């Protein structure tokens, strides 16, 4: 999910969306806790100087307390090139779920590697620097539509990846991928991951102006749907909206690897893909600082400390709980972790292992969605596109690995990075 360049730098259309920004908020320095200077950090490499959100989110200050050490994050994407200078030593053994040629370190587009660097890149060699450079990446390669058009692939690659991550020692699953259609097997894998105590972040998608369809897995109740916002806390006009949005993170004006050759970075919008990676890294920072917390408690704190200018008992369909701000917890100790075994997403008891930290006296009760009229007013010039009905439903009930040739399956799945 990236932004537009010249024809020589073109990428998937869903990653090239750029342009004006719509907003639910116009908050100066909305990303920070209020004690940081407005000047961006000085980076030696030009690409790092373009990572504006690191200064806004007070990354350098947070890194004095935690860099995300001890946290492993599964990146379900196009693969992760473990040989870029910024990712050397940061990538662990993962899974190639595509069943195509290559393995999980063969990134066929550059998208997955960008996401991994935004999460845990060290910045060595002038590459992208991750918000949680102490975390480790576990790559899970899946197929987008272009890849599946050229290869015979495993139809259940995302479900298999989610289950593999759930059965591993990763704590966070980050998936900057989406499809317009739910799959039963994928939905069950998501529930399984929640039962194993994982936090699952997924991009809500970049097609707000193209029907604004719900995107899966972000639309599953157990998944944290992430929207994209800019420096001023305004939601991007391309960022899909609705009940699937749980939180927002920086996504605009973020560099990315131009293609699978890894020769240069391109300027543009990282979209909800980049926002998902940054949200995942934010969770890694908080969890690393509080290793005994459960997934529910980490999420409760991220939701509780998000920046918003609406009532705490409501959600915005554009920014969810608001703009993610891990610095509120890391630097100021803010945020109510709530009950260890109650999901802030579903408000149901979860079976994941509980941490040793005692639940707070008053558990965070999470807000209900805004009604459409109130949220439309908050969005200002934004209007809701009513053409968001699902076009179909895929049921994955067969208990065997299904490998299908490109064309027909691609027409149904239409999976894309965000």
Active site residues: 77, 111, 273
Rounded distance, CA 284 to CA 174, Å?
11
CA distance 18 to 269: 6
**In the block, which residue shows the tokens 């579903």?**
346
- Tokens standing for residue 53: 């959100």
DSSP secondary structure code for residue 44 in this structure:
S
Cα–Cα distance between 18 and 389 in angstroms, integer? 24
3-state DSSP assignment of residue 123: coil
Going by C-beta distance under 8 Å and a sequence separation of 6 or more, which residues neighbour residue 400? none
| Distance separating alpha carbons of residues 84 and 374, to the nearest angstrom | 46
Cα separations (Å) of 183 from 12, 18, 99, 220, 246?
Answer: 23, 30, 19, 10, 21
Handedness of CA 409, 77, 11, 215 (dihedral sign): positive
Q: How many whole angstroms separate alpha carbon 202 and alpha carbon 191?
A: 14
Q: Which CA distances in Å does 339 have to 291, 301, 312, 357?
A: 15, 11, 18, 10
């Amino acid at each position: 999910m990236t932004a537009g360049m010249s024809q020589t730098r073109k990428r998937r259309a869903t990653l090239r969306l750029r342009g004006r920004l719509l907003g639910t908020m116009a908050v100066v320095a909305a990303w920070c806790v209020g004690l940081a200077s407005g000047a961006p950090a000085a980076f030696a490499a030009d690409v790092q100087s373009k990572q504006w959100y690191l200064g806004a989110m007070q990354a350098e200050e947070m890194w004095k307390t935690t860099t995300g050490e001890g946290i492993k994050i599964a990146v379900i994407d196009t693969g992760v090139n473990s040989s870029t200078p910024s990712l050397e030593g940061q990538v662990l053994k993962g899974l190639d779920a595509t069943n195509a040629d290559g393995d999980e370190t063969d990134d066929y587009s550059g998208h997955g590697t960008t996401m991994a660097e935004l999460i845990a890149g060290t910045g060595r060699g002038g590459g992208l620097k991750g918000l949680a450079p102490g975390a480790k990446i576990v790559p899970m390669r899946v197929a987008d539509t272009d890849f599946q058009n050229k290869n015979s692939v495993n139809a259940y690659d995302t479900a298999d990846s989610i289950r593999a991550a759930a059965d591993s020692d990763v704590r966070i699953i980050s998936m900057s991928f989406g499809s317009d259609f739910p799959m039963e097997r994928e939905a069950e894998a998501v529930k399984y991951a929640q039962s194993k105590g994982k936090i699952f972040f997924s991009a809500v998608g970049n097609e707000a102006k193209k029907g604004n369809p719900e995107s899966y897995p972000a639309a599953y109740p157990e998944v944290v749907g992430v929207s994209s916002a800019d420096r001023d806390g305004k939601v991007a006009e391309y960022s899909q909206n609705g009940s699937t949005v749980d939180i927002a993170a920086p996504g605009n004006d973020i560099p990315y690897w131009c293609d699978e050759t890894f020769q240069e970075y391109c300027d543009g919008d990282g979209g909800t893909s980049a926002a998902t990676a940054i949200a995942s890294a934010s969770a890694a920072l908080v969890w690393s600082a509080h290793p005994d917390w459960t997934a529910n408690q980490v999420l409760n704190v991220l939701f509780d400390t998000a920046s918003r200018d609406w009532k705490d008992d409501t959600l915005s369909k554009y920014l969810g709980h608001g703009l993610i701000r891990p610095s509120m917890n890391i630097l100021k100790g803010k945020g109510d972790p709530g009950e260890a075994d109650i999901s802030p997403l579903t408000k149901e008891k979860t079976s994941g292992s509980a941490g040793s930290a005692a639940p707070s006296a008053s558990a965070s009760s999470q807000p209900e969605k805004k009604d459409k009229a109130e949220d439309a007013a908050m969005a200002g010039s934004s209007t809701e596109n009513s053409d968001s009905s699902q076009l179909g439903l895929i049921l994955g009930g067969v208990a065997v690995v299904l490998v299908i040739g490109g064309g027909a399956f691609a027409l149904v799945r239409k999976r894309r990075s965000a």
